[in-house]
Chains A and B, each alone.
Chain A
């Protein structure tokens, strides 16, 4: 475990926990895309199929349990909690899961490290994670609503992406056989989507105007 990996895991963890705690506390999920949250729950569920079969470390198992528990809790709040669900921008959050899930599944069937159920699901989870933020970005663009909650959430996710890339570079030079093309390429695509968002986020902050993303 290097410092970049730890920082990446911690910002990732904070992004999910900050979102869950705020939804729990203020009983509102305004500006948050349920589609993106459901996709993340699916990402964790398909990636952590090894949770009971391969023991890596106590840290690893606990983190997986927290990610699974918190992502499904967020979805539960947004769908089932009687106050939270009222604040959900349902009419604006119209992105179809299907358009992201199907291509990722097909790509995972073709591009995987080994053609087994677990490996195909693992590749699928990486492809899906790369694009799962898209419904959130579409919702931001439509509602033009970038409050503190959404801003902090997307900022923490962006920090997680950046730290993971530093982690891969570090591991590539320090661990002789560390090569994971699928992880790196899908991770890079995901980070580029964030960079695009950050460009507009930073500009709107600098000019002290409301965020205005291009259509």
Chain B
């Protein structure tokens, strides 16, 4: 939720 999660977009 807006955190430093894994980014799956390019």
Give A contacts to B, CB under 8 Å.
Answer: 5, 9, 12, 50, 54, 56-57, 60, 63-64, 67, 113-114, 116, 119, 122, 164, 167, 177-181, 183
Number of residues of chain B lying within 8 A (CB) of chain A: 9
- Additional 7 contacts, C-beta under 8 A, given A9-B10, A178-B1: A57-B8, A60-B10, A67-B10, A113-B2, A114-B3, A167-B9, A179-B1
Contact of A181 among B2, B6, B8 (CB under 8 A): B2
Consensus secondary structure, chain B interface: loop
Q: Bound state CA distance, A64 and B4, in angstroms?
A: 19
Chain A residues with Cβ under 8 A from B9's Cβ?
5, 164, 167, 183
Contact of B10 among A12, A180, A181 (CB under 8 A): A12
Give B contacts to A, CB under 8 Å.
Answer: 1-4, 6-10
Tell me, rounded to whole Å, the shortest Cβ–Cβ distance linking A74 to chain B: 17
The answer to whether B10 touches A119, judged by C-beta atoms less than 8 angstroms apart, is no
Most central of B4, B7, B10 by chain A CB within 10 Å: B10
Contact of B6 among A9, A54, A114, A177 (CB under 8 A): A54
Tell me, rounded to whole Å, the shortest Cβ–Cβ distance linking A63 to chain B: 5
Q: Bound state CA distance, A122 and B6, in angstroms?
A: 11
Chain A residues with Cβ under 8 A from B6's Cβ?
50, 54, 56
Chain A residues with Cβ under 8 A from B10's Cβ?
9, 12, 60, 63-64, 67
The answer to whether A116 touches B7, judged by C-beta atoms less than 8 angstroms apart, is no
Q: Bound state CA distance, A177 and B3, in angstroms?
A: 10
30 A-B pairs with C-beta separation under 8 A? A5-B9, A9-B10, A12-B10, A50-B6, A50-B7, A54-B6, A56-B6, A56-B8, A57-B8, A60-B8, A63-B10, A64-B10, A67-B10, A113-B2, A113-B3, A113-B4, A114-B3, A116-B4, A119-B4, A122-B7, A164-B9, A167-B9, A177-B1, A177-B2, A178-B1, A179-B1, A179-B2, A180-B2, A181-B2, A183-B9
